[in-house]
Chains A and B, each alone.
Chain A
Amino acid sequence: MMKKQSSSKKMNPGVYFLINYSVPIIFTILVAFAIPLSKLSANYFVTEIMIRLSRNSFLILALLIPVMAGMGMNFGIVLGAMAGEIGLIFITDWQIVGMPGFLLAILISTPLAIIFGYFAGIVLNRAKGREMVTGFMVSFFMNGIYQLIVLYGMGNIIPILNPSILLPRGYGIRNAISLIGIRQVLDKLIPLKIGGILIPVATFLVITTLCVFIAWFRKTKLGQNMRTVGQDNEVARISGINVERTRILSIVISTVLACYGQIIFLQNIGTMNTYNSHEQVGVFAIAALLVGGASVAKANIPHVFIGVILFHTMFVVSPRAGKELMGQAQLGEYFRVFVSYGVIAFSLALYAWRKRVEKENERKKIMGYRKSILVK
């Protein structure tokens, strides 16, 4: 007697699309509401978005490679940001300015970023299956180590020449350092003004180069290896790929890119909050990527840019909308933090749920197949 097997839920493609892209869709609706509410001028708007695109894209692009290798959302980019900041502390201390300062910061922080990334990679390898939580906790842990170095070591064991960046007590770096020496040094490298707005041509060129690099990397042997590892560890291992080394490499590359991204970010802003600048880097970058439609298993370049535009629009618009709507800008600020966290929670939950549903369907299929063989 053959029981009619109910096959996996075949959703009609429209519903499937809605669920898959629920995050960007909800976001677009939210933003569409909030923009007119905030009463911001189009000019201001476009300038802000352009600046934020040039400032943040590099960091978010750094997230793509670990996703390829199946490591999920790399909360460890915070480590790269810290490495970059240490580099910037040194060039500020030595008073190196302009493009040489910028390049020197990159030069010094790269080895540091590699070491941090390597450490993160090793830890993540020992926590297979829960990379994201572990990455998250590692970033907090490293924050403590960073404080140890910057708040206690510098001025003490690590020689600082310029006492103006130290705290009054004689050691430890101040809370905020002016990066005026390298302020907008990359942005202004190729000056272009349209309608009174400065367009950071060089920065965009750098970002484009990174996009080209990532696209090319996908096709290289190492890139292919990473994708195989990302799809299935066992298959990769059988094909002779050193799974552990590939995973570590993906994190190292991501950390180094994040380091550069943070330096690019800070050169645009012009000041560095020594202890706070890197805190929200992970959360905001990941939220932006998820808003752009990426998921834990799949993230590519369009996601990055759509994400930056949507996410940062919300960011810019919320405080003003909050003020117009409820008379308190503070409300808008809390709202945007809530949305950032909420987006991540929602996307991750959605992804986990879908993963389970797919596993269940696979299992049912296999059981159904077995059953049909038995009956025969």
Chain B
Amino acid sequence: MRKRIIIRTTLVAVLILIGIFLYTIGQEHKVIIDNKDIIVNGNTYNASTVYKIWVDNQEIGVIEKNGRAVTKVTGVSHKIVIEAISDQALSGEKHERIFKFKSNEGAVINIPAMVNALNEWIDKTN
């Protein structure tokens, strides 16, 4: 009798763990990427050029000055790579960041902040 209870509780616990696992790796999060001026600690960082964006090695597109791109990603850990475009060609100036999500979070990423290596490059929203 006791053995049955133990087995059943373990089974339920395992299922709950699987559930949490599926929840975490399966949740979709919204990512907004802005190429806008940003003010941090009183300093303004300007958006200068056009950038090409990759998230998780997938090309999202190109953002002009003051432009915005929106995309959805699934799971916890992601990588964003941006490359400046000058004179209609990729400049080779790349920036890369890794960001992680908790449950039910979204993110707003600011390109000028990212370029200038600020801590405020990403803002998590609920």
Contact = CB atoms under 8 A, between A and B. Distances in A.
Q: Answer yes or no: A and B touching, Cβ < 8 Å.
A: yes
Interface of A: 91, 94-101, 103-104, 107-108, 161, 181
Contacts of B22: 96, 100-101, 103-104, 107
B23 A94 contact: yes
Contacts of B48: none
Contacts of A101: 22, 26
9 contacts: A91-B26, A95-B28, A96-B26, A100-B23, A100-B25, A100-B74, A101-B26, A107-B22, A181-B28
Q: Is the interface of B mostly helix, strand, loop or mixed?
A: helix
Q: Is the interface of A mostly helix, strand, loop or mixed?
A: helix
B74 A98 contact: yes
B104 interface: yes
Nearest to B27: A96
Nearest to B26: A100
Nearest to A91: B26
A263 B22 CA distance: 17
Nearest to B30: A95
A103 B26 CA distance: 10
Contacts of B117: none
B19 A108 contact: yes
A103 B15 CA distance: 11
B118 interface: no
B27 A107 contact: no
B18 interface: yes
A181 B26 CA distance: 10
Contacts of B27: 94-97
5 closest A-B pairs by CB: A100-B26, A96-B26, A104-B22, A100-B22, A95-B28
B8 to A, nearest CB: 13
Most A-side CB within 10 Å, residue of B15, B25, B27: B27
A104 B26 contact: yes
